[in-house]
Structure 1
Amino acid sequence: MEQENKHNWRTRLHEIIYEADTPEGKLFDVVLLIAILTSIVLVMLESIKPFDLKYHQEINIAEWIITILFSIEYIVRIISVKKPFKYIFSFYGIIDLLSTAPKYISLFITGTHALIALRALRLLRVFRILKLVRYLGASNHLANAIKASRAKIAVFLFAVLIASVIFGTIMYMVEGEENGFTNIPKSVYWCIVTMTTVGFGDIAPQTALGQFIAAIIMIIGYGIIAVPTGIVSAEYAKNTPQKLLGEEVNKKNTPNKVRLNTQSCSNCLEDKHQDNSEFCHKCGYKLHHD
């Protein structure tokens, strides 16, 4: 009986912490995100010297409260899973540890508390809360398109680099040191900044010929922005229509659409299971049900 109660307690804790389909799980994640945002805002306010001088004590206390809460959460996450090391060395486990440790390290090494801003990475959990996992398929299509275009993009970037070196050298010869183009690397830097339409304005051509060349580089810059977009778009369009068509056919022919939830396996921490699944699709472990 005692072992069964312990199992039920851990199962319930696992549902609240690792899943977002239950009211308690949603509340836990929302409170967690609010705490993360509050912590990041506190770090930002602390970097403002007048504000920090006035409210340093209050900010420090608030940061310690949030750090202690995150520490408790980290420990509870470890307790509620059957394989603790699976969580500890997982992506989220490492992020959770990195976001909690800086405040403790600041007790021994000054200045490291600013690393608390790493807690922003924990906002990735918003995908679970808002159920944005369903949209990850579209991002995968884009990633595949970029991957398929990498050779063309690499050649294009190499050509841009060569053009930057050539134009940078020409500008160095035309403008010279007296106009800020003190060396070829700095001239190449100016060319890259101009070609990408950033235009910091820290260096500017003064001669008529230099300004004419700069105008040509700026015009080329607009084309440079469009080329990678066109390459990726072509690859994306090449593979996406059939996929979308298949989805439309499935919507018409299948009355019951397959839905994924945030139910997490307490054995391997795998989530995104289908509704009403009884076993984990990764390790085969039985999923808990109410």
Structure 2
Amino acid sequence: MIERPTSSNWRDKLHEIIYEADTPAGKAFDVILLIFIIASIALVMLESINRIDNKYHDILYYGEWVVTILFSVEYIARIITVKKPFKYIFSFYGVVDFLSTIPMYLSFFFVGSQALVSLRALRLLRVFRILKVARYLGASNQLKASIVASRVKIAVFLFAVLVSSVIFGTIMYLVEGEENGFTNIPKSVYWCIVTLTTVGFGDIAPQTALGQFITSIIMILGYGIIAVPTGIVSAEFVKGNGKDGEKTSDREDFPEQLHLNSKSCQNCAASDHKDYAKFCHKCGHNLD
């Protein structure tokens, strides 16, 4: 646990609770917020079921308003606790927070039967709240880094799959022909992609013995192809774990593992700071 110096500034204390998770108060805030996010998603899903909505419409409606008000308070608190509020407002999560809060308020401006269709479309924006969950999953940053690190290998792999699909699709067009549903090469390539990914919609099926033999080869290749991107990302993920566990110093007063924590800069909202960082790695603002 990283100890923070006490501050007499209520704004600094509120910023520590809202944006960081290294303190008991910050962890409690994240857990409570996660509960309300999940509750909000559950309300949206239940409301979409006509049978449940007809019976419990008022409960779902008022429950949604309770969640909306709480998210509104959280959104305002996030703005007033940073020194550069526009940095947060126009950041990715700032936009997500705004989109997840505003639909219920927009309902005041869409009154009457003619606007009901538009209103239902606007209320679908509430599903953006599910994106708020991602910021509280610590391992998501490492997974994102692993995907970014392996993007070139994945791109080459996808290109190879596309080339294979074009080749096999063309072969199947020549073997099966229009009479068996392979009316053109693009449709044959579509069939090959569906078969190679082991989805198999069944809307097109080979009828000749040679076509079925080629299909069997494609299906077997499909099982191998599924494992490739998973292996690439997993290798980068393990490599990332290895880097995090490397010894960084021989000093006794310095830990062998240097971890990233949830410190968030109050000036620029940057995160991913080292445990013993005193200043923001982006703007140089004092983190204590």
The question of 1:149 aligning with 2:153 is answered: yes
CA contact (8 A) 2:270 2:282 kept: yes
Partner SS for 1:200: coil
Distance 1:196 1:119 in 2: 31
Distance 1:138 1:159 in 2: 24
The question of 1:110 aligning with 2:133 is answered: no
Identity of aligned residues (%): 59
Distance 2:71 2:100 in 1: 9
How many Å apart are 1:159 and its aligned residue?
Answer: 4.1
Distance 2:229 2:209 in 1: 32
The question of 1:123 aligning with 2:133 is answered: yes
Q: Which residue of the partner structure matches residue 40 of structure 1?
A: 41
Q: Which residue of the partner structure matches residue 268 of structure 2?
A: 268
* Number of residue pairs matched by the alignment: 269
The question of 1:283 aligning with 2:287 is answered: no
Residues 141 and 195 (structure 1), Cα distance of their counterparts in 2 relative to 1, 3 Å cut:
closer
Paired amino acid for 1:149: K
Distance 2:278 2:68 in 1: 37
Q: Which residue of the partner structure matches residue 4 of structure 1?
A: none
Q: Which residue of the partner structure matches residue 76 of structure 1?
A: 77
The question of 1:64 aligning with 2:65 is answered: yes
Distance 2:94 2:147 in 1: 27
Paired amino acid for 1:284: G
Paired amino acid for 1:32: L
Q: Which residue of the partner structure matches residue 27 of structure 2?
A: 26
RMSD: 3.2
Partner SS for 2:286: coil
CA contact (8 A) 1:103 1:113 kept: yes
CA contact (8 A) 1:149 1:235 kept: no
Partner SS for 1:149: helix
CA contact (8 A) 2:197 2:226 kept: yes
Partner SS for 2:16: helix
Paired amino acid for 1:199: G
TM-score, with structure 2 as normaliser: 0.78
Q: Which residue of the partner structure matches residue 140 of structure 1?
A: 145
Q: Which runs of 5+ in 2 are unaligned?
A: 1-7, 111-117
Distance 1:20 1:94 in 2: 22
How many Å apart are 1:113 and its aligned residue?
Answer: 0.8
1:182-233 CA-partner distances (Å, limit 9, x unpaired): 4432222111111122222232223333222211222333344455566x47
Q: Which residue of the partner structure matches residue 53 of structure 1?
A: 54
Distance 2:96 2:266 in 1: 19
How many Å apart are 1:38 and its aligned residue?
Answer: 0.5
1:23-66 CA-partner distances (Å, limit 9, x unpaired): 22222211111111111111111222211222222212111111
CA contact (8 A) 2:146 2:233 kept: no
TM-score, with structure 1 as normaliser: 0.78
Residues 275 and 187 (structure 1), Cα distance of their counterparts in 2 relative to 1, 3 Å cut:
closer
Paired amino acid for 1:269: A
CA contact (8 A) 1:148 1:235 kept: no
Distance 1:60 1:176 in 2: 57
1:128-165 CA-partner distances (Å, limit 9, x unpaired): xxxx26x8457535532x14536xx43x5444333323
Structure with the largest fraction of helix: 1
Residues 169 and 274 (structure 1), Cα distance of their counterparts in 2 relative to 1, 3 Å cut:
closer
Distance 1:35 1:161 in 2: 43
- Mapping for residues 157-176 of structure 1, pairs under 5 Å: 157-176=158-177
How many Å apart are 1:8 and its aligned residue?
Answer: 1.5
Distance 2:24 2:48 in 1: 37
Q: Which runs of 5+ in 1 are unaligned?
A: 1-6
How many Å apart are 1:254 and its aligned residue?
Answer: 4.5
1:65-107 CA-partner distances (Å, limit 9, x unpaired): 1111111211121112221112111222111112112233344
